[in-house]
Structure 1
Amino acid sequence: MFLLLIYLEDSSSCLMSSSQIILHSYFANIEQTGRHFQAIIASAFAKGDYHKVMSSASRVLQYVAATHPINALAFVFDGVNYGASDLQISHTLLIQW
């Protein structure tokens, strides 16, 4: 998507592409962290270390509670940017394919 936006001469397209790259890298980081926590909890559960399961699960819950407002803001700003100013860019990119 970033390579397609380079050829457009509109400056707002570059702003959209940079925000999309940051958003996708943030979501990839969150996904990787989730897999890591799943592996820790599954390993401790298989070994029968239920204290570690509970402490890991409570830590995951704290992490989710701390990052949930950030995720909500990311979705809101992404929707506002898409709906307010970048509809023509989206039309150009999606229809031309």
Structure 2
Amino acid sequence: MQLESILDPTGGTDASADTSLAPRVTSLRGKTLGLLDNTKPNGAALLTGLGTVLRERYGLEGVLMYSKPYFGTPVEPTQTQRIFEECDFAITAIGD
């Protein structure tokens, strides 16, 4: 008889990691927004439209688009660091 393994669907996060929230921006005016596309269908279109609306309505200085190499993998730490350094805040979305 073969035993089956049950996998943890939560991604196996490190319980000791700092999961505190980042400080919130008080205004979007003059800020740079980072948009992270997970590369699934329609994700880029959703984020592009959102970036356009936020820029026009709230006076964003810039909108930068980033893409993950593959939707099924986590964001690379180097990409997270780049977004952190280049943007004041970020939004991600799942397409389909």
More strand by share: 2
More helix by share: 1
> Scaled by the length of structure 2, what TM-score is found?
0.29
When Rg is computed on C-alpha atoms for both structures, the one with the higher figure is 1
> Scaled by the length of structure 1, what TM-score is found?
0.29
